[in-house]
Amino acid sequence: MNNRELKRIEIISYLEDLSKTDSQFSTSIQENLIFFEKISSLKGFFDWVKNNMPTINGEQLKELTDFGNEKYSEELHIGMIKVERGFVPGFITPMVKKVSSYILSCNNSLLIADLGSGSAELMRQIIKRVLKSDFKQKITIVAFDRSESSHNIAAENLAVFANDIEITKVPQLKEEELVNIINKSDKKINVILVQNNIFNIAKDFKNTTFDMSYHSFFKHHLDVEYKNELDNILLEKSKITFEYDGFHSKFGLILQALFVWKQLVLLNGAVFSNLRYYKKEFLKGKAKNENIILYGMGPMFSHRGTYLRTLTNADKK
Ligand SMILES: C[S@@+](CC[C@H](N)C(=O)[O-])C[C@H]1O[C@@H](n2cnc3c(N)ncnc32)[C@H](O)[C@@H]1O
């Protein structure tokens, strides 16, 4: 039996066990089970695309890594780092350019929130550009992610900048501690990896305003009411927010699935996240009143399928 097949059986067994104890996500667990049962072959995958996929409600769907399994989260992040470093299709390039050029346009020290920071690959690419520039101000980035394993990977991923940045892990960061860390450090860039609940930001950081916040491939993880709540929190606590995520595309879903066919956790993430993404028409409609740019294509006519939204005080309703 090959490694892919062994992994598939392991995941099915994990989901079967989970289905006996978890009732909150029972529908999503079943959808994940069906998916992993069907993808033993390409024929099975296309059968799933044709017959099962159209019956799934993307708004309620959870991915394998949303069930709190740290080992699978780690596998997802390691896989995503490779994908996000690729020149084609340059998945996060528009966001790296947007956030880094915003930073470079400022001439004051900055406090930044990175929400759902994952492996910090986006942050790594942003920091690389900032360090290459002659930006002189101090930057503090508070990286919020509930997954502990993601912070371990983030710390490893950022270790290349050891001379210029200080990384601090604080499971539950308090406002006073944030001030102390900023004042104490003599490094140009401070990264604080925290597990604070993102929806408690207003409560946890009452007297703080972030100069900027950003999130990437994060929003689709949230249910509709939480998506709106996130916008409201950030409108209140951050001067400007950059939001980056994918838009739904059947073509993109199949293409990405084939690209990561052998890496099952990543395959599940690529396919299920695509089902949760906003529809292109919805984003185009919103773009009439909001600052949203769609990126259909990457370099060399490759499929990218992402959008970038900018949120400022002017968007307050
Ligand atoms: C797909 S990853 C994206 C990571 C990274 N931003 C990137 O672009 O590669 C989504 C991340 O959001 C985190 N996440 C999902 N829901 C969350 C929540 N409610 N609170 C905090 N983190 C969450 C997950 O742990 C995961 O690391």
Backbone dihedral angles phi then psi of residue 149, each to the nearest 5 degrees: -65, -30
CB 264 within 8 A of CB 7: yes
Nearest CA residue ID for atom 16, ligand 1: 221
Backbone CA torsion sign across 137, 194, 171, 173: positive
Q: Give the number of C-alpha atoms closer than 13 A to the C-alpha of residue 225, restricted to the C-beta side.
A: 0
For the Cβ of 121 lying below 6 angstroms from any atom of ligand 1, the answer is yes
- Tokens 């062994």 locate to 6
What pLDDT score was predicted for residue 23? 82
Per-residue pLDDT 10s for the chain (317 aa) are 899 999 999 999 999 999 999 788 999 999 999 999 999 999 999 999 999 999 999 998 999 999 999 999 999 999 999 999 999 999 999 999 999 999 999 999 999 999 999 999 999 999 999 999 999 999 999 999 999 999 999 999 999 999 999 999 999 999 999 999 999 989 999 999 999 999 999 999 999 999 999 999 999 999 999 999 999 999 999 999 999 999 999 999 999 999 999 999 999 999 999 999 999 999 999 999 999 999 999 999 999 999 999 999 888 76
Superfamily of structural domain 92-246+300-315 = Vaccinia Virus protein VP39 (3.40.50.150)
Q: What is the pLDDT, as a whole number, of residue 291?
A: 97
Q: Give the C-alpha distances (Å, rounded to integers) separating 98 from 20, 187, 211.
A: 45, 24, 15
d(CA 208, CA 143): 15
Contact (Cβ atoms closer than 8 angstroms) between residue 222 and residue 277: no
Contact 227, 219 (CB under 8 A): yes
Q: Using the 8-state DSSP alphabet, how is residue 51 labeled? A: I
Please give the number of the atom of ligand 1 that sits closest to the Cα of 269: 1
Report how far residue 176's alpha carbon sits from residue 237's, in angstroms, rounded to the nearest whole number. 17
CA 290 to chain centre: 21
Burial class (CB in 10 A: 0-12, 13-18, 19+), 313: exposed
Protein residue closest via CA to atom 12 of ligand 1: 116
- pLDDT for residue 268: 98
Tell which residue, 256, 254, 259, 246, has the closest CA to residue 296.
246
* Distance from C-alpha of 270 to C-alpha of 274, rounded to nearest angstrom: 6
CB 155 within 8 A of CB 169: yes
> Where are the CATH 3.40.50.150 domain residues in the chain?
92-246+300-315
Q: How far is the CA of 134 from the centre of ligand 1 (A)?
A: 31
Sequence length of the chain is 317
With 0-12 / 13-18 / 19 or more C-beta atoms within 10 angstroms meaning exposed / middle / buried, residue 46 is: middle
Taking the centre of ligand 1 as the mean of its atom positions, its distance from the CA of residue 122, in whole angstroms, is 12
Provide the β-strand partners of residue 306.
Answer: 246, 295
156: number of Cβ within 10 Å: 14
**pLDDT score, position 290:** 95
Q: Please list, in sequence order, all residues whose beta carbon lies within 8 angstroms of the beta carbon of residue 317, skipping any fewer than 6 positions away.
A: none
Query: What is the CA angle 73-277-23, rounded to 5?
Result: 55
Evaluate: CB of 56 within 6 angstroms of ligand 1: no
Radius of gyration of the chain from its Cα atoms, rounded to whole angstroms = 20
Q: Which helix (H) or strand (E) holds 269?
A: helix 264-276
CA–centroid distance, 226 to ligand 1, in Å, is 14
Token code pair at residue 317: 């309703």
**Probe ligand 1: pick from 218, 241, 268, 304, max atoms within 8 Å of CB?**
218
pLDDT at 129: 98
Contact 207, 176 (CB under 8 A): no
